[in-house]
Amino acid sequence: MVELLVVISIILILMAILLPALRRSIQQATSTVCMANLREVHQALQIYRLDNAGWLPVSDHDQEPQLTRDVGLMSAWYRSLFPRYVGDLTVLVCPADPLADAVRESLSLAAVVQDLPELTSYGLNEIILTSEDQYLAHVDRYPPRRPWDTLLVADLGADVAPTGTADYEAMLWIESVRNHGQLPIDDGYDPGRSVQVPPWLTGRHSGGINMVTFGGAIRSIRTESLMTEPISAYYEDCALGGCTVCNQLALPHYNLSAAGTYWWTGTLPRR
Ligand SMILES: [Zn+2]
Ligand SMILES: [Zn+2]
């Protein structure tokens, strides 16, 4: 009996030691899959750009990107990648996304049907799509000054609805935040629908997110502090790094400079 108790307690102690390590390695594995997804999306966007005279996908297949002015009406950017550049849209599902199943279902339908709620785990840097006439999407003509350090695509939340929300409402809430797969620079204004929306920021990778830059650098950033600190239009470290939002736009934005990444670098095109 005593021997049995000893064996059981040894097993319990071993489990207590091994479980956190196991949890960590599972988290690392999901983050690795997420990074591989981002790498594939980056590659698809680069090939799309080469095929489309320097334009990134911003609109419907039928329309010229530069003719699409209403961001609210255009179809999500990733639809233009399917099926030629991305054969399987589930590459837009982050395995650490608590809504992964819903996202996968939405994407499998998005591939065949228009006019559906557009739910994805990743967002494209909104500055590209909301710059004047979306000129920044012409990355050959208006390239960022520091491509390696300029944000292209990142993990997009939100992952949880505000507490006290019913399941159905929570789902609608999350859909509205993730609509069109755009990554807003701030936690407030949705230019597509001209409404205030809740923050998109998430900490789904052990308190952080993964992102890929124009140059193809895959980076992680801790988001815990970003999610609680008040948002600002100017951060000294961000401005010194060459952030156009700090230096030129002066719009509230999340400060990603801790990872050496900026929303935009270089000047913005003006008419
Ligand atoms: Zn992810
Ligand atoms: Zn900045």
In the chain, the amino acid numbered 187 is D
In the chain, the amino acid numbered 15 is M
- How far does residue 139's CA lie from ligand 2's centre (Å)? 20
Q: What is the pTM of this model?
A: 0.86
Reported as a single tens digit per residue, the pLDDT across 62-98 is: 344 433 334 334 468 888 898 899 999 999 999 999 9
User: What was the pLDDT predicted at 36?
Assistant: 98
User: What was the pLDDT predicted at 193?
Assistant: 62
13 phi and psi angles, rounded to 5 deg:
-65, -45
CA distance 92 to 40: 9
61 phi and psi angles, rounded to 5 deg:
-60, -35
End-to-end CA distance of the chain: 84
Ligand number nearest to the C-alpha of 248: 2
- How far does residue 211's CA lie from ligand 1's centre (Å)? 8
User: What was the pLDDT predicted at 139?
Assistant: 92
User: What was the pLDDT predicted at 106?
Assistant: 85
CA distance 194 to 72: 9
Percentage of the residues of the chain whose pLDDT score is greater than 70: 87
pLDDT < 70 stretches in the chain: 59-75, 114-117, 162, 179, 187-197, 271
Ligand number nearest to the C-alpha of 97: 1
Percentage of the residues of the chain whose pLDDT score is greater than 90: 54
User: What was the pLDDT predicted at 87?
Assistant: 92
**Polymer length in residues for the chain:** 271
Ligand number nearest to the C-alpha of 239: 2
Q: Using alpha carbons, list the distances in angstroms from residue 269 to 66, 133, 227.
A: 13, 10, 31
Ligand number nearest to the C-alpha of 99: 1
CB 241 within 8 A of CB 186: no
In the chain, the amino acid numbered 165 is T
Q: Residue 59 has which token pair?
A: 């609109």
User: What was the pLDDT predicted at 114?
Assistant: 66
Reported as a single tens digit per residue, the pLDDT across 100-134 is: 998 998 888 877 776 666 789 999 998 998 887 78
User: What was the pLDDT predicted at 158?
Assistant: 87
The two beta strands, 122-125 and 182-183, are: parallel
- How far does residue 198's CA lie from ligand 2's centre (Å)? 20
- How far does residue 253's CA lie from ligand 2's centre (Å)? 7
- Determine the distance from the C-alpha atom of residue 60 to the mean position of all C-alpha atoms in its chain, rounded to a whole number: 20
CA distance 127 to 21: 39
Ligand number nearest to the C-alpha of 252: 2
194 phi and psi angles, rounded to 5 deg:
55, 45
User: What was the pLDDT predicted at 218?
Assistant: 98
User: What was the pLDDT predicted at 64?
Assistant: 42
User: What was the pLDDT predicted at 202?
Assistant: 93
User: What was the pLDDT predicted at 59?
Assistant: 54
